Homo-oligomer: A and B are copies of this chain.
Amino acid sequence: MKQFLSLVAVCIFSLSAWAQETVAVNTGDLISPEVKNQTVTFRLLAPEAREVWVETDFFEKSRQQTPLGEVEMAGRQRMEKGENGVWSYTVALPAPELHTYCFYVDGVRMLDPSNVYMLRDIATYMNYFLVDGALSENYFVREVPHGTVAKVWYPSPSLGMERRRMMVYTPAGYEEGTKRYPVLYLLHGAGGDENAWSELGRAVQILDNLIAQGKAEPMIVVMPNGNGAQQAVPGEYPNSMYKPSFMNPKTMEGSYEKAFPDIMNFVESHYRTINDKAHRAIAGLSMGGFHSLYISANYPDKFDYVGLFSAAINRESKGENTYIYKNLEEKLATQFAAAPKLYFIAIGNADFLYQDNVEFRQLLDRHGYKYEYAETDGGHEWRNWRKYLNNWLPKLFK
């Protein structure tokens, strides 16, 4: 026991004897971010640094001139160095949300070594913390029954791929029962992958909480990978340890939409789904909204619930499968002849895709196609997509 305690002490001295990798370190007792008395404090031990800044998603944004025009940048604040080499910055607690931040040390962006909670957005990690409140209450893991989340592989013959991956959420109780469930297909945006909704989107927490509260119907949620040339999240298929990028092959040229029945066939033959239009929903953000629009229009008898969150309407690129995007008005006419129970469009008033969505709604209006519209503040960002999901799920399958 004595030897054991010594080793614990060695660990505390930031050394690596028992720590499980030779490069492991320990940042000691520094707490960052610390939420206390309606403030949040960020801290970083950097005795030799000349300058440390903290950048958050809730500081006032700055606008900078670039060769492409004026662009909004995340706000930064200079941290103050204490006598112990610890830089810190304290600010009033921001509004309830999942908030993200990072540090800049002598000009180099870095993560907070005291905070293991981080999210990857395309090729960039950021630390996060949650502020509790009415808006964010379902983003927290609560003491409620939890669904199972599985990384599942399926074949996609239409894409010529033996293996592709999806994340599948089955609601609490699924494994114990024989009940059949409705299905939501929930699609990510450009640069995202099958992990995006469960990580950045807090979809698992939102589902667990809404279902536990009786606000949403228990449902199976399928989160596929919408990049037609990718098998899975980069790093999790052969030779894929590249840097993820915003633009990927086979994303908005029709092949994914064409292959979507491969996903549905797998899901409906491997899960206890209810296989009719009234029990299928499809929704997505940005590129995923684009996919949802065209998948639901091309398979008009499949989905009674369609959700376009900040959808990238009219963004298709060229290719042999662009027939998927042709004759949209005709396809919508067919789709709305037996109209979906809920066709939902949501967008932030500062989104660069706002005008495209205005025009799309004008098209729907011209034909008298019914839809529900939700406009929020903010732009093309996850805080809106979490909100849209949280507000939309209670309307499904009822």
Contact = CB atoms under 8 A, between A and B. Distances in A.
A358 interface: no
A241 B124 CA distance: 21
A106 interface: yes
Interface residues of A, number: 109
B235 A117 contact: yes
A8 interface: yes
A150 B286 CA distance: 28
A163 interface: yes
A168 to B, nearest CB: 9
B21 A121 contact: yes
Contacts of A192: 20
Given A130-B241, A153-B146, A172-B153, A13 B68 contact: yes
A224 B229 CA distance: 34
A149 B125 CA distance: 24
A101 interface: yes
Nearest to A46: B108
B110 A110 contact: yes
A151 to B, nearest CB: 5
A129 interface: yes
Contact of A23 (B126, B129, B141): B126
Interface in A128-173: 129-130, 140-143, 145-146, 148-153, 163, 165, 172
A21 B246 contact: no
Nearest to A7: B352
Contacts of A100: 21-23
Interface in A1-26: 1, 3-4, 6-11, 13, 15-26
B141 A148 contact: no
Given A44-B108, A126-B24, A146-B163, A352 B68 contact: no
A380 interface: yes
Nearest to A165: B146
A191 interface: yes
B25 A116 contact: no
Contacts of A240: 141
A262 interface: no
A340 B11 CA distance: 36
B247 A8 contact: yes
B26 A116 contact: no
Given A13-B66, A20-B286, A110-B113, 6 more contacts: A21-B119, A116-B123, A141-B235, A141-B237, A150-B150, A175-B270
Please list the 10 inter-chain residue pairs (A to B) with the smallest Cβ-Cβ separation, ordered nearest first: A150-B150, A48-B107, A110-B110, A46-B108, A23-B74, A24-B124, A146-B153, A15-B71, A22-B74, A21-B121
